[in-house]
Structure 1
Amino acid sequence: MKASDSGETELTMHSTARISAARRRCRARLTIIAIFVVCAAPIVAAFFAYFVVKPHGGQTNYGELIAPQRPIPADLQVLDEAGRPIALAAFKGKWLMVSADSGTCDKACVTKLYYMRQIRTLQGEQRARVLPVWLVTDDAPIQPKIRTAYAQTRMLRADPAALRAWLPASADTSLRDHIYLVDPVGHLMMIFPKNPDPVKINQDLVKLLKWSSVG
């Protein structure tokens, strides 16, 4: 075989190898995109069915939809019940009902905890998909009777400044006035009004759990 023929053969082999590698990379990217679409589709479908289709006309949701959605900040650290630091994003995978308040927990605070507990219970077989979270915004000790009464609620201590940067409030309310809903992907998606109607919160959650298989 001539040297020129050998060189051309080697060049062709290299070209074929590069094309094959490029095709493998393309297939890998398409696979990743397909996985993302499959995972996100149920939540997107739930939002579309609940907030866009609106079969009965008008606004169907009680809570205010957060737009654009706010993902849990990757650097938002909390302390668990044992005082160990953990990223709040570690709780992704469930629907989170979130309250932020002082550890002293006055009547309004207890009311929010009670609502969240009861709304979760009302989901019946679906309740395992819902996690009540109390973000304690100071170092005040939590009363033992509250820990006992709300044992299914995760009680995590968080920096109030970091929470205010993530959780919105209106001009005439504060962080502690609201219950928030975070979807299983980790996006803050709803804020409920001060002195909320738990029946209407429950209606929102029931619809979301029905339309979404995620979480």
Structure 2
Amino acid sequence: MPPQDPSAKTPRTPGAPHTDAPVGDRIDARTRRGRLQMLVLLLVCASPVIASYLMYYVVKPTGGSTNYGTLIDPQRPMPAVQIANERDESVPLASMRGKWLLVTTDPAACDEACAKKLFMIRQIRAGQGQDRERIVPVWLIQDKGAVDERLSAAYNEPYAGVRFLRMDAAAVRQWLPADAGARAEDTIFLVDPLGNLMMRFPKDPDPAKINGDLKKLLKYSRIG
């Protein structure tokens, strides 16, 4: 039998996969496919969050703006500070992540305007029906003063769900930006479940319009 030429290619069986590509090239191709599959998986997992923000911030109905509140740009993440809960336990502010937060702030000596905001955020939460469990109304108390027991009885109870938390006044002002010519105490803020301060409502806000903003966010978002 005549000796075979070492450079000659081995005949390929009909229907068998072509394997003439160098081993290194085949490994590189598998690596690229694996990375592409991982990227697609990450995009699929993140799509609910991405879609909710695109629908709310980008897609606007004919005739004007899609939201009543003012969007905070850039968003402000929760500062790394401690707060005191109802049992006077020190906990990180970041422990409040995971829900949509309706935030108002005032000293413990809550005046009529303060009580009106507490009533408003309680009613807005209750008005969300089955989605109300996704929302936590929060009163950030700026000092260590005593809170009127009537306020606790009316708002800081299981069904109303308003959390009475204490946070240093300077940290409050640094995190919650006031509107031009106003104070942080004049309004209500919205924090998303990722811990970003994302919206500020005007002084003496219309609760029906806040309710409308929340309904749209809860409809488009699966987080929180």
Q: When the two structures are superposed, what TM-score results if normalisation uses the length of structure 2? A: 0.78
1:182 correspondence with 2:191: yes
Bigger share in helix: 1
Percentage of pairs with the same residue = 51
Q: Hey, what's the Cα distance between the residues in 2 that align with 1:114 and 1:157?
A: 19
Counterpart CA distance in 2 for 1:38 and 1:158 is: 38
What is the rounded CA distance, in whole Å, between the counterparts of 2:70 and 2:215 in structure 1?
16
Number of the residue aligned with 2:214: 205
Kindly state the Cα deviation for residue 34 of structure 1 after the two structures are TM-superposed: 4.9
Cα drift, residue 117 of structure 1: 0.4
Query: Residues 55 and 108 of structure 1: is their aligned pair in 2 closer, same or farther, counting only changes over 3 Å?
Result: same
CA pair 40-138 structure 1, distance change in 2 beyond 3 A: farther
Q: Distance in 2 between matches of 1:137 and 1:161?
A: 8
Instruction: Give the length in aligned residue pairs.
Output: 189
Q: What amino acid is the match of 1:92?
A: R
Among 86, 91, 95, the alignment partner of 1:81 is 86
Q: How does 1:29-178 map to 2 (within 5 A)?
A: 30=38, 34=41, 37=43, 40-73=46-79, 75-150=80-155, 151=157, 152-178=161-187
Are the counterparts in 2 of residues 51 and 59 from structure 1 also a CA contact under 8 Å? no
Q: 1:107 to 1:49 in 2, by over 3 A?
A: same
Larger Rg: 2
8 Å CA contact retained: 2:141, 2:164 = yes
User: What TM-score does the superposition give when structure 1 sets the normalisation length?
Assistant: 0.81
Offset of residue 52 of structure 1: 1.3
Cα 1:40–1:145 change in 2 (3 A) is farther
Which residue of structure 1 aligns with residue 7 of structure 2? Answer: none
Contact 2:107–2:141 (CA under 8 A) maintained in structure 1: yes
Provide the C-alpha distance between the structure 1 equivalents of 2:171 and 2:121, rounded to a whole number of angstroms. 23
Partner secondary structure for residue 53 of structure 1: coil
Q: Distance in 1 between matches of 2:171 and 2:125?
A: 26
Of 95-104 and 54-63, deviating more is: 54-63
- Contact 1:62/1:204 (8 A) holds in 2: yes
Segments of 5+ residues of structure 1 without an aligned counterpart are: 1-18
Unaligned runs of at least 5 residues, structure 2: 1-26
**Aligned equivalents of 2:41 and 2:89: distance in 1?**
36
Superposed CA offset, 1:43-62 (max 9, x none):
33122112211123311100
Task: Could you list the structure 1 runs, at least 4 aligned residues long, displaced by more than 2 angstroms after superposition.
Answer: 37-44
| Deviation (angstroms), 1:40 | 4.3
- Partners of 2:66 and 2:173 lie apart in 1 by 28
- 1:192 equivalent in alignment to 2:201: yes
Q: Does the CA-based 8 Å contact 2:108-2:147 persist in structure 1?
A: yes
